Chains A and B, each alone.
Chain A
Amino acid sequence: MTQPLHFHPSEGFAARARAATADPALRKGFRGAMDFLQTKRQAQFTDAAELSDLRDLGAAIRRYSLSRLPELLQQLETNLVANGIHVHWAENADEANAIVIDIARRREAKLVIKGKSMVSEEVALNHALEGAGIEALESDMGEYIVQLAGEGPSHIIMPAIHKTKQQIAELFAAKVPGVTYTENVDELILIGRNVLRQKFAEADIGLSGVNFAVAETGTLCLLENEGNGRMCTTVPKVHIAITGIEKVVEKLEHVPPLFSLLTRSATGQAVTTYLNLISSPRKPGERDGPEEVHLILLDNGRTQAYNDEQLRATLQCIRCGACMNHCPVYARIGGHAYGTTYPGPIGAIVSPHLLGIGATHALATASTLCGACAEVCPVRIPIPELLIRLRNEAQSAADSGSELRGAGESRSVLVSMIFRAWALMYTHPMLYRIATWFMSRGRALTPTAQGAWTGIRTPLVPAPKRLRDLLAERNSRHE
Chain B
Amino acid sequence: MSARERILQRLASAESRSPLPLPDVAAYYAAHQRNEDAAARLVRFRTAIAAAHAEVHDTDDAGWPALLCRIAIEKRLRSLLVGGDTADAGTLANQSQLPFALRSYDSAAPGWRNELFTAIDAGLTRAKSAIAETGSLVLWPDSREPRLMSLVPPVHFVLLDTRCIHADLHGAMTAEDWSSTLPTNALLISGPSKTADIQQTLAYGAHGPRELVVLLCHPTGAQS
Q: Mark A residues whose CB is within 8 Å of B.
A: 29, 32-33, 36-37, 50, 53-54, 57, 60-61, 63-64, 67-70, 73-74, 89-91, 95, 139-142, 145, 158-161, 163-165, 168, 185-186, 188-190, 192-193, 196-197, 200-201, 216-217, 219, 225-228, 230-231, 234-235, 245, 250-257, 259-260, 267, 270-283, 285-289, 297, 299, 303, 306-309, 312
Contacts and interface: CB of A to CB of B under 8 A. Distances in A.
Nearest to B5: A89
Nearest to B108: A287
Nearest to B4: A89
B25 interface: yes
Interface in B168-213: 168-170, 173-174, 178-179, 182-201, 203, 205-209
Contact of A185 (B146, B201, B207): B201
Contact of B7 (A54, A89, A282): A89
22 contacts: A33-B200, A60-B23, A61-B25, A64-B22, A73-B11, A91-B7, A139-B207, A160-B197, A189-B203, A201-B117, A217-B182, A226-B206, A234-B148, A251-B25, A251-B179, A253-B26, A254-B25, A257-B170, A271-B190, A279-B182, A285-B143, A307-B10
Interface string B1-34: 0111011101111111111111101101101100
A289 B184 contact: yes
A271 B134 contact: yes
B18 A67 contact: yes
The residue among B17, B32, B114 with the most chain A CB atoms within 10 A of its own CB is B17
Nearest to A202: B113
Given A70-B12, A276-B187, A277-B185, A164 B25 contact: no
Nearest to B151: A230
A231 B198 contact: no
A159 B7 contact: no
Contacts of B179: 216-217, 251-253
A289 B147 contact: yes
A89 B207 contact: no
Contacts of A165: 198-199, 201
A189 B198 contact: yes
A231 B8 CA distance: 33
A367 B8 CA distance: 34
A384 B136 CA distance: 36
Of B3, B23, B25, B48, most buried by chain A (CB within 10 Å of CB) is B23
B151 A306 contact: no
Contacts of B84: 287
A50 B105 CA distance: 44
B188 A309 contact: no
A256 B168 contact: yes
Contacts of B32: 50, 53
A68 B7 contact: no
B190 A145 contact: no
Nearest to A192: B206
B198 A95 contact: no
Contact of B197 (A36, A142, A245, A276): A142
A58 B168 CA distance: 16
Nearest to A73: B8
B7 A303 contact: yes
A272 to B, nearest CB: 7
A272 B188 CA distance: 9
Contact of A219 (B12, B182, B195): B182
Q: Which of the listed residues B12, B173, B174, B203 has the most CB atoms from chain A within 10 Å of its own CB?
A: B203
A288 B170 contact: no
A203 to B, nearest CB: 12
A64 B20 contact: yes
Interface in B53-92: 84
B8 A64 contact: no
A274 B203 CA distance: 16
Nearest to B107: A287
Interface in B138-162: 142-143, 146-148, 151
Given A64-B20, A165-B198, A185-B199, A228 B207 contact: yes
Would you list the 7 A-B pairs with minimal beta carbon distance, nearest first?
Answer: A227-B208, A142-B197, A271-B134, A226-B206, A227-B207, A89-B4, A275-B188
B50 interface: no
A276 B192 CA distance: 15
Contacts of B135: 270-271
Contacts of B146: 286-289
B151 A227 contact: yes
B195 A189 contact: yes
Given A142-B197, A271-B136, A277 B147 contact: no
B52 interface: yes
B198 A273 contact: no
A165 B196 CA distance: 11
Nearest to B212: A273
Nearest to A251: B179
Nearest to B200: A36
Nearest to A40: B200
B185 to A, nearest CB: 6
Contacts of B174: 253
A158 B114 CA distance: 31
| Residue picked from B84, B107, B148, B206, most chain A C-beta under 10 Å | B206
Contacts of B17: 67
Contact of B184 (A32, A225, A281): A281
Contacts of A50: 32
Nearest to B191: A273
Nearest to B105: A287
Q: Which of B113, B179, B192, B208 has the most CB of A within 10 A?
A: B208
Given A227-B193, A303-B11, A164 B199 contact: yes
Contacts of B205: 189-190, 193
A276 B188 CA distance: 7
Contacts of B184: 278-283, 286, 289
Nearest to A230: B151
Contacts of A61: 23, 25
A237 B16 CA distance: 44
Contacts of B201: 165, 185
Contacts of A89: 2-4, 7
Contacts of A90: 3
A297 B18 CA distance: 23
